[in-house]
Amino acid sequence: MDQRGDPLIWAAVAVILAPDPDSILLIRRAERAGDPWSGHMAFPGGRQDPAEPDLVTTAVRETSEEVGLELQPEHLIGSLDDVVPRTPSLPPIAVRPYVFALDRRPDLTLNPEVAAARWVPLELLLRSDTYRSVRLDILGESRDFPAYRLDDSVVWGMTERILSGLLEKVRQTPSHS
């Protein structure tokens, strides 16, 4: 149950890393009526199907559906902390991020739920000038949010928190300290 007493909906996302240069896959969600995350930058993923045995299965299925990438068990390197929306008007959902590492960048086939996909170099995300506060209008209220600015894209909200958790782990590795 969430703080409002609503049952939690579970979802999973795939945080996918690939080399040349070391990058992370982000998608732009298609504009869809009724979707509170419509048009946002995100990781491939979605809600758990009741028939799925676990959330990693959800992340793998959603990635296949959204970008045509078949993740394999040997690609999974771990998970990050679960995140929930901080905006009370959003659905009571908990998202578990799973991290996958590929040995090459695959070709992607986007389905209609995905407007665009891009590989973002970790080096860019680790730069201090990429991470800053942005002012966004949410439900008619202008608020400042921490975000990653990537040319024409802004990564904020739950995706920003997942990405920040990953980048904190990257900074702690000996090769990036």
pLDDT of 20-51, one tens digit each? 999 999 999 987 776 656 688 999 999 999 99
Answer whether residue 4 is part of any domain: no
Answer whether residue 1 is part of any domain: no
CA-to-CA separations, 127 to 130, 149, 173, in angstroms, rounded: 6, 11, 16
Residue type, 173: T
Domain that holds residue 13: 9-176
Distance (Å, whole) CA 27 – CA 114: 7
Q: Are 112 and 35 in contact (CB under 8 A)?
A: no
| Mean pLDDT in residue range 45-67 | 97
Structure-derived torsion over alpha carbons of residues 160, 163, 164, 168, reported in degrees to the nearest 10: 180
Of 15, 17, 106, 120, residue with least CA distance to 62: 15
Answer whether residue 2 is part of any domain: no
Answer whether residue 61 is part of any domain: yes
Distance (Å, whole) CA 9 – CA 84: 10
Number of H helices, E strands in the chain: 3, 10
Q: How many domains does the chain have?
A: 1
Distance (Å, whole) CA 19 – CA 140: 41
Q: Is the pLDDT of residue 176 over 60?
A: yes
Answer whether residue 165 is part of any domain: yes
Task: Name the more confident of 153 and 99.
Answer: 99
The answer to pTM > 0.85 is yes
Task: Please name the residue that has the structure tokens 């986007």.
Answer: 110
Task: Note the pLDDT tens digit of each residue in 75-104.
Answer: 999 999 999 887 766 778 899 999 999 999
Output the pLDDT for position 177.
54
Answer whether residue 83 is part of any domain: yes
Q: Is the pLDDT of residue 119 over 70?
A: yes
Q: Which residues contact 13 (CB under 8 A, 6 or more apart)?
A: 42, 43, 44, 45, 59, 62, 95, 96, 97, 98, 162
DSSP 50: T
Output the pLDDT for position 5.
53
Domain at 70, CATH number: 3.90.79.10
